[in-house]
């Protein structure tokens, strides 16, 4: 893996941090992308000694910022072998009828448009480099399969990620660009701390939900990323075993 280069978006915390550190431990050079430089620097400081890390503050919803991220990667490393399209956001649970256009647009801008912009930039770079090809892994979610109550923007964007994944997987074939999706359920991160306080269920009850160690998600990303390009995991679901997903609703 000494010459493998990865970009991880949303690398300043949670799943993105876990994936970036797991890739670094596996010998990948890792470009950390995220809005906050201080958070990216914290992730970089946690990497193993000798790891090749580049932190690039990035707003994935801004085409110019995404362009600068990929230009910096090419300038520093010369190529790209993996994009983990992980950056995401949400709004507090809101009844569908009360959602504002501003709330909707804020989630779509990061979760969907940001994923498109980063995937397109990675696709172009992987197509043009020699040897040609690479891998894109999109962070879907359990919400790419079924919603939680009061989650229209998040659920809609995560369902859309599945369509984006399949389209890239199809369009990338002729360039040796593989694309897959990881759907994560209840990894223990700052974003899921509310699980410990209880979250709304389909029947209106509020229940505490089990979580899992986020490092297992990082290990799953390393596995998906390490496959040869003639092999692809199109979708992987990794979840807390006892979370209420199977049979939900």
The residues that are catalytic are: 154
Of 159, 215, 152, 222, give the one whose Cα is nearest residue 189: 215
User: What is d(CA 123, CA 134) in angstroms, rounded to the nearest whole number?
Assistant: 8
Burial 124-160 (b: 16+ CB within 10 A, else e): ebbeebeeebbbbbbbbbbbbbebbebbbbbbbbbbb
Q: Is residue 139 within 8 Å of residue 189, measured between CB atoms?
A: no
* Alpha-carbon distance values, 88 to 84, 164, 212 (Å): 12, 15, 19
Number of CB atoms found within 10 A of residue 94's CB:
15
CB under 8 A, 24+ apart: contacts of 91-96: 91/153, 91/154, 93/148, 93/149, 93/150, 93/151, 93/200, 94/150, 94/152, 95/150, 96/150, 96/152
């Amino acid at each position: 893996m000494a010459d493998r280069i990865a970009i991880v978006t949303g690398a300043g915390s949670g799943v993105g941090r876990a994936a970036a550190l797991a890739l670094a431990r596996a010998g990948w050079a890792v470009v950390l992308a995220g809005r906050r430089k201080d958070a990216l620097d914290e992730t970089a400081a946690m990497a193993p000694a000798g790891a090749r890390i580049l932190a690039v503050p990035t707003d994935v919803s801004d085409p110019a910022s995404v362009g600068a991220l990929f230009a910096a990667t090419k300038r520093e490393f010369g190529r790209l072998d993996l994009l983990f399209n992980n950056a995401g956001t949400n709004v507090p649970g809101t009844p569908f009828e009360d959602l504002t256009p501003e709330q909707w647009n804020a989630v779509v801008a990061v979760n969907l448009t940001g994923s498109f912009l980063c995937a397109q930039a990675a696709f172009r770079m992987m197509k043009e480099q020699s040897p040609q090809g690479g891998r894109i892994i999109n962070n879907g979610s359990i919400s790419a399969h079924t919603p939680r109550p009061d989650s229209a923007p998040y659920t809609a964007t995560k369902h859309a990620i599945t369509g984006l994944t399949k389209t890239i997987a199809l369009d990338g074939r002729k360039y040796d660009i593989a694309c897959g999706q990881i759907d994560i359920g209840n990894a223990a991160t700052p974003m899921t701390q509310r699980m410990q306080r209880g979250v709304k269920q389909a029947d209106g009850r509020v229940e505490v939900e089990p979580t899992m160690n986020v490092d297992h998600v990082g290990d799953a990303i390393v596995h998906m990323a390490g496959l040869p390009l003639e092999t692809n995991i199109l979708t992987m679901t990794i979840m807390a075993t006892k979370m209420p997903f199977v049979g939900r609703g």
